Amino acid sequence: MKTGTITRVEWKWLALFSAGLILLTSFPYLVGLLMETPEHVFSGFFVAVEDGNNYLAAMLQGTAGRWLFHNPYTPEPHTAAFIYVIYLVLGKLAHVFNLSLPLTLHLARSAAIPFLLIAVYRFAAYFTPWLALRRIILFLVAAGGGLGWLWVLAGGEFAPGAMPTDLWVPDASAFLTMLTFPHLVLAQASILWLAISGLRLLHHPNRKDLLSTGFFGLLISLIHPYSLPVLIGLLVLYWIWRGWQQRLLDWKPLLYLGIAGLISVPYLVYSAALFNTDFVLNTWQEQNRVWSPHPVFYLLGFGLLCPLALIGFLRQSSVCRRCDQTFPVLWVVVIPMLLYIPSNLQRRFLDGYQVPLALLAVCGVVSLLYQVQPRWRRRAVLLLKTISTFSNILLLSGFIILLMGRPSPAFYSRTILEAVDWLATHGKMDAVVLAAYDTGNLLPTRALVRSFVGHGPQSVHPVAKMEQVRAFFSGAMSADARLALLESYHIRYIFYGPSERALGNSSPGSLLGVRLIYQQDNVQIYEVNSHGVQTCQWCTSTPDFSSWPLRVR
């Protein structure tokens, strides 16, 4: 079989494997639906609920016909942006087919899974003609994890940032990626498709691969703009290395690669300019901190892939020597250097990294198997594949047990949802709503309103705003200060439910100019009429914050 060729038998096997992964990653969500009661409604998420709600909020804007995303988690006026395009489109599709937003999101996630698995398999097929090796690589990437399960069994801390990455970083785990959100699946898939198209372009410049490279580069830019320069840089490094080996630099392939990259330049320039000039978007960028954990957590997170990849690099077998492994080696070597550069996006550079690492690890496995008696080789591979699934089995089991307890915010009170839906029908579009943090995170998913605070990175100065909310509802803030807060941020509605009552017993109903417009059980909604409400939906000027002692957390 030739390198890069995929037979009909392989396509059938891929289809079955993809179907299995779709069912496996969808099972916890089915459990969540089955655990619903008349009082408790499944949010649609059991991990990263805060971010999931953010994507639902973008989809809701899409259902309203918008093509520009408005940050719904902060009251400050800002520029609408051409970002979150995938979720805006999904919202439009949900509107056309009359589907719920969570269902549409998870249908998209399921549909994107085969796209990712085909990309992984295509990447493996490009570098090895051996069917068995391709399947092992795909399995280790799609179903495998690291040694996080050992960390849990040893009683290690179970918290993001303080445990192996295979337990909490989707960028480092294709399985976690497929378990979460569709744009993450598409991002990793597009990176792999771009890598192969770019390599083909560098070897044999042609129009088809130029267009393919340009298309996937643009798709990556729409999802993770910072990933495209990294991949293009890796391809350029590969071109330099190949030219040095051949003692000849052929400029034509580099020209084709440059033309393909130029397709995405306008959007990259637009995105960079927008996030560096708009106050709210720039603050969002600064607060979006996805820093790398201690290197030990990376080593444990990738587990056996790391030592096996090192063996594969140092002792390539005759099978692996038949293919040029330079690009995977460059990828595996360069990315760790980017994980600790002074940037808020350190972990994001891991997108797709698991694939070249698994490729080199399989080369290491092959070299080791040559030293083992043939009758033990199949058992050794089976043992490796089994061990690699332990972390993912642990995660799935943990998520299912978690859902059976109906925790918040994975589940919401139906009373609260009914109040939010009432506000969506009777409230003013794009009005600012004052509520507790968790309520503020929910509100924009079902109503076209803006929350005073509700999302860590996207709410401007969230810690200071959360303190203001606590003081407002606890009574620690005087009546004049409460009215000043409502006036300063043009707050139109006050949501007063269980989360707000938990902050204190200072009801908004005692304020002048505030009237009750909704009440059901222990949930009330108040409308603020004591000041002139801002009528322009999305002004682009930045208000004066000199009187507010706010600091970025």
Instruction: Give the pLDDT band of residue 318 (cuts 50, 70, 90).
Output: low
Of 40, 56, 102, which Cα lies nearest the Cα of 408?
A: 40
DSSP three-state, residue 109: helix
Averaged pLDDT, 25-48: 96
* pLDDT band at residue 5 using 50, 70 and 90 as cut-offs: confident
Least confident stretch, 42-46, 149-153, 155-159, 314-318: 314-318
Specify the pLDDT at position 1: 58
- Residue 190 pLDDT > 90: yes
Q: Whole-prediction pTM value?
A: 0.92
Which run of H or E residues covers position 85? helix 85-97
Does the pLDDT value for residue 34 go beyond 50? yes
Per-residue pLDDT tens digits for 409-466: 999 999 999 999 999 999 999 999 999 999 999 999 999 999 999 999 999 999 999 9
pLDDT of 51: 96
Percent of the chain predicted with pLDDT > 70 = 94
Residues 57 and 440 sit within 8 Å (Cβ to Cβ): no
Distances from the Cα of 334 to the Cα of 184, 234, 347, 349, 534, angstroms:
22, 8, 14, 10, 50
Q: Among candidates 441, 538, 448, which has minimal Cα distance to 490?
A: 538
Q: How many other C-beta atoms are found inside a 10 Å radius of the C-beta of residue 405?
A: 9
For strand 411-413 and strand 40-42, is the pairing parallel, antiparallel, or unpaired? antiparallel
Q: Which two tokens stand for residue 250?
A: 């052929």
DSSP letters spanning 20-74: HHHHHHHHHHHHHHHT--SSEEE-S-SSSHHHHHHHHHHHHHHHTT-SSB--TT-
* Per-residue model confidence as pLDDT tens digits over 324-379: 789 999 999 999 999 999 999 999 999 999 999 999 999 999 989 888 888 889 99
The per-residue pLDDT for 505 is 84
Mean of the per-residue pLDDT values of the chain: 92
pLDDT in tens, 49-86: 999 999 999 999 999 999 999 999 999 999 999 999 99
Which residues, 6 or more positions from 547, have their beta carbon under 8 angstroms from its beta carbon? none
* Nearest C-alpha neighbor of 365 from the set 389, 392, 383, 345: 383
- Domain spans of the chain? 8-42+100-400, 411-528
The confidence score (pLDDT) of residue 551 equals 28
- 491: pLDDT strictly greater than 60: yes
Please state which of the ranges 7-16, 144-153, 154-163 shows the lowest mean pLDDT.
154-163
Separation CA 67–CA 87 (nearest Å): 10
Strand bridging mode 432-434 / 491-496: parallel
**Surface-to-core class of residue 134, CB atoms within 10 Å of its CB (0-12 exposed, 13-18 middle, 19+ buried):** buried
CA–CA distance, 223 with 227 (Å, rounded to integer):
9
Closest of 442, 447, 452, 448 to residue 430, by C-alpha: 448
CATH class for domain 411-528? alpha beta
**Per-residue pLDDT band at 218 (split at 50, 70, 90):** very high
Distance CA 256, CA 275 (A): 30
Mean pLDDT of 218-237: 96
Pairing label, strands 523-528, 514-520: antiparallel
pLDDT average, residue stretch 15-42: 97
Q: Given this model, what pLDDT does residue 247 score?
A: 86
Residue 251: count other Cβ atoms within 10 Å of its Cβ.
10
Asked whether residue 533 carries a pLDDT value surpassing 80, the answer given is no
CB-based burial label for 99 (10 Å; 0-12, 13-18, 19+)? middle
- How is residue 397 written in tokens? 């089991």
Report pLDDT digits (tens) over 247-262. Answer: 888 899 999 999 999 9
Residue corresponding to tokens 């620690």? 476
Contact 283, 344 (CB under 8 A): no
> In the β-sheet with 514-520, what is the strand arrangement from edge to edge?
450-451, 432-434, 491-496, 523-528, 514-520
- pLDDT score for 536: 37
Burial code of 230-247, b = ≥16 C-beta within 10 A, e = fewer? bbbebbbbbbeebbeeee
**What confidence score (pLDDT) does residue 98 get?**
97
Phi, psi of 433 (to 5 degrees): -120, 130
Mean pLDDT within 90-103: 97
pLDDT at 234 over 90: yes
The alpha-helical segments, DSSP class H, found in 174-206 are 174-179, 182-203
> Quick one: pLDDT at residue 458?
97
